[in-house]
Amino acid sequence: MRFYLISDNIDTQKGMRLAGIEGVVVHSPDEVLREIDSCLNNKEVGIILITEVLAAMIPERIGDIRLNMPMPLIVVVPDRHGTTREADSITRYVRDAIGVKI
């Protein structure tokens, strides 16, 4: 199994390429969906890395894959500009999930 990156900028792609992860740069929702489908048809791809900007374009499709398919794993990663999530997003997620403030 291998990783595959779907990115919205060349800098993220180059950085991942230095780590040995192949990928593409796309900009439209149609291109993202085409690359996702290509990865789903390639049994060698075990983990899809996708930047936050692109994941925000197709949240329903990503949610569907996460819920209904055992493989591949989809991981949403920040790009070179950093994350768009709030600073305490993980803490808030845990608090909402278990009802305990940490």
Domain CATH number, residue 77: 3.40.50.10580
* Least confident range of 2-16, 36-50, 82-96: 82-96
Q: Give residue 100's pLDDT.
A: 63
The domain in which residue 19 lies consists of 2-98
What beta strand segments (E) does 19-94 contain? 23-25, 45-51, 73-77
Distances (CA, A) of 95 to 43, 92, 98, 99, 101: 37, 5, 6, 5, 5
Q: Give the number of domains in the chain.
A: 1
**pLDDT averaged over every residue in the chain:** 86
pTM above threshold 0.95: no
Q: What is the mean pLDDT of residues 75-90?
A: 68
Residue 79: beta bridge partners? 82
Q: Give residue 1's pLDDT.
A: 83
**Confidence band for 49, pLDDT divided at 50, 70 and 90:** very high
- Give yes or no for a contact between 13 and 54, defined as CB atoms under 8 angstroms apart: no
